[in-house]
Amino acid sequence: MIVADRKPMEEILAMLAPYKRVLVLACGGCVTVCVSGGEKQADLLASQLKLAAAAAGRADVQFDVDCITRQCDREFAAMLKKPLDQYDAVLSIACGVGVGFMSELAPQATVLPGLNTTSYDASTAKGVWQEYCGGCGDCLLAETGGICPIVRCSKGLTNGTCGGTKTGKCEVSKDMDCGWYLIFKKLQAAGKLELYTKVRPAKKWSKDRNGKGARRLTHKELMETEEFSK
């Protein structure tokens, strides 16, 4: 799932400073699951914003809260209690997708990000989410024992450990596993160590975000026409 973390409060306060009528818009999708951008977090954030405004002597500001099932699907926008452009600003606490999509759906509205979107994670323990996929568009997991070297190796290397590996940890931090060491251990355990030294062509970074515009997934059978505007 997509994981996002709340932006530092001072950044949010600075972003919202020019606005009076603000909607804190939660998303019922991934950010609810990672307990960063659900309706409860929107309530709490609105509460904080109201207190901050009161402390700053601003009586003219108003903070509403709304939540839709997902901010990344057009249809759910119909759930909004009020059109977004009726607010001076919308602080979306969805991932960046929601912020961008809501902004696109409401051309007149100012939609601002309340979270920093970080990664694609699994919940590894109570209250802990960890990145497992780099979304690189060219999945290597078949050859790496299901451990993503793009995510787990600090350098995103594709051909084994570098010289910075030390007792299974990365040179960057002794608290950080060496991704390729994990892959080595996993492949060793699975009896597939030949995959470790397999000749891998240089990674196709063209599949990653690379300046060619937004990547796009299309399922032709689900499209109304094969032509689409964007």
Give contact residues for other proteins (rule: CB under 8 A): 8-10, 13, 28-29, 32-41, 43-44, 47-52, 55, 67, 69, 123, 126-127, 154-168, 170-173, 180-181, 184, 188, 193, 196-197, 199, 202-203, 205
Q: What one-character-per-residue DSSP string does 88-132 give?
A: SEEEE-S-HHHHHHHHHHSTT--EEESEEEEEEEEEEETTEEEEE
Q: Is 74 or 198 the residue whose CB approaches other proteins more closely? A: 198
What's the one-letter identity of residue 146? G
Q: Which of 12, 30, 32, 31 is nearest to 22 (CA)?
A: 12
Q: How far is the CB of 221 from other proteins (least distance, A)?
A: 26
Cβ atoms of residues 27 and 93 within 8 Å: yes
What's the one-letter identity of residue 110? T
What is the rounded distance in angstroms from the CA atom of residue 108 to the CA atom of residue 168?
A: 52
Q: How far is the CB of 39 from other proteins (least distance, A)?
A: 4
Q: Is 56 or 223 the residue whose CB approaches other proteins more closely? A: 56
Q: How far is the CB of 199 from other proteins (least distance, A)?
A: 7
Q: How far is the CB of 6 from other proteins (least distance, A)?
A: 9
Q: How far is the CB of 217 from other proteins (least distance, A)?
A: 23
Q: How far is the CB of 101 from other proteins (least distance, A)?
A: 18
Q: Is 18 or 163 the residue whose CB approaches other proteins more closely? A: 163
Counting Cβ atoms within 10 Å, is residue 197 exposed (0-12), middle (13-18) or buried (19+)? exposed
The helix/strand/coil state of 176 is: strand
Q: Is 51 or 223 the residue whose CB approaches other proteins more closely? A: 51
Residue given tokens 């599949």 in the structure block:
207
CB atoms within 10 A of CB 11: 13
Q: Is 29 or 113 the residue whose CB approaches other proteins more closely? A: 29
Q: Is 104 or 188 the residue whose CB approaches other proteins more closely? A: 188
